[in-house]
Amino acid sequence: MTGFFSKKETQSNDRPEGKLLTCYSCGLYKDCITPKMQPYGNFDKRIINIGEAPGTVDDQEGKPWQGKTGRLLQRIYERLGVDLFEDCVNINAVSCRPMKNGKNRLPSNVEIECCRKSVLSLIKLYKPKLVVLLGNAAIYSVLGTRWKGSLNGVNEWRGFAIPDLEFNTWICPVFHPSFVERSLEDQPVTQIVWGQDLQNAFYKLNEKLSVYNKPEITFLEDISMLDSLIKTGQTISFDYETTGIKPHAKGHKIVCCSIAVSEDKVYVFEMPGKIELCKPFINILKDKNIRKMAHNCKFEENWSYEILGTRVRGWLWDSMLAAHILDNRAGITGLKFQTFVNFGIQDYSVGVKSYLEAENSNDINKVETLMQVKKGKQELMEYCALDSIYQYRLAVKQIKEFEIRNLPF
């Protein structure tokens, strides 16, 4: 196969750590029958399916999904009114068959990284309405460029329809058919979950991505203005940035606070050091006719009580609790994760994250150091403001979902 790849294909794609992510460093093209398998399918319904890697039969035939697992996938798609080869285009996280002693094997993360540029270029080129990520390799390939935290595998991601803002498409992770096939005897429920996830993904073909305005953030120098900005009868979402996680531990403070008054508009201010100067804000907390929302409201409740000496009245919604009621899988209720899967917004805490962390639970973190620098202060307060905005948007979306599912609230 000498000469199959151009010089550019084997020598481009610099990796930040210095290693080259190229076909040459991947090397899978060397041993397979069909190197760099081409996308296959007519794409009538504008769906891209991304599998793991070509298997034995696929490699022999020169196209994806030709073996037993491909037939399983074809059957379930057909049942849901989608033709795997007419309505979709099919690619894999790696385009060449990975082998060990002549048998199929899983592609390594480095091989997936080497092939990632080609996967992303194809999504960009085809402009699909829907991208179905079948299994861990596809999730690593695509979401690995978007989600900065740990990916933790398909069980954490399956079932979500993530609006991808870069490609203007829905990204729907589901199980890989080979996993479903292996589970058929012991855990037949896997196939039911798989079918439901795929059906929900196909519903997205008729739904446009929600469009939100750029958040309007107002920095308040003087919180006495709060009285005129937030009125009784309003619904707000609020959030604190604090010096740690234990409000009753010695020396802890609320550093700043944000109050979103809609899905787009938010006020943010530094919390005054003297309690009497916090009065306008405390009045808001005490007013039960100002309905409050937060993500994990017991955090705001405890800090309000310990630092500001008041209980919060008028709680309406806890978006963390609601996320758990809607989907009780572990590890998915955090605001950053929910913001990503619901709005496609990647982790916006990057600049301030290390300052928010403390070694031990009673310890004081480094946010006050950040507040002493103009740029740091701006970054922290913006981060705080975005938390409130995304909480608000999430709550609005969840309340609609509760209504659709007829859940009491």
Does 29 interact with ligand SF4 (rule: CB under 6 A)?
yes
Does 312 interact with ligand SF4 (rule: CB under 6 A)?
no
- Output the smallest distance, CB 29 to ligand SF4, in A: 4
Does 386 interact with ligand SF4 (rule: CB under 6 A)?
no
Look at residues 297, 315, 318, 299 and name the one whose alpha carbon lies nearest to residue 307. Answer: 299
Please identify which residue in 26, 154, 268, 297 interacts with ligand SF4, judged by CB under 6 A.
Answer: 26
Contact window for ligand SF4 (CB under 6 A) among 91-99, 239-247, 278-286, 351-359: 91-99
Does 111 interact with ligand SF4 (rule: CB under 6 A)?
yes
Does 113 interact with ligand SF4 (rule: CB under 6 A)?
no
- Output the smallest distance, CB 107 to ligand SF4, in A: 7
- Contacts with ligand SF4: how many residues (CB under 6 A)? 12
Does 142 interact with ligand SF4 (rule: CB under 6 A)?
no
Does 58 interact with ligand SF4 (rule: CB under 6 A)?
no
- Output the smallest distance, CB 111 to ligand SF4, in A: 6
Does 137 interact with ligand SF4 (rule: CB under 6 A)?
no
Does 28 interact with ligand SF4 (rule: CB under 6 A)?
yes
Does 120 interact with ligand SF4 (rule: CB under 6 A)?
no
Contact window for ligand SF4 (CB under 6 A) among 55-63, 94-102, 266-274, 363-371: 94-102
| Contacting positions for ligand SF4 (CB under 6 A) | 23, 26, 28-29, 35-36, 94-96, 111, 114-115
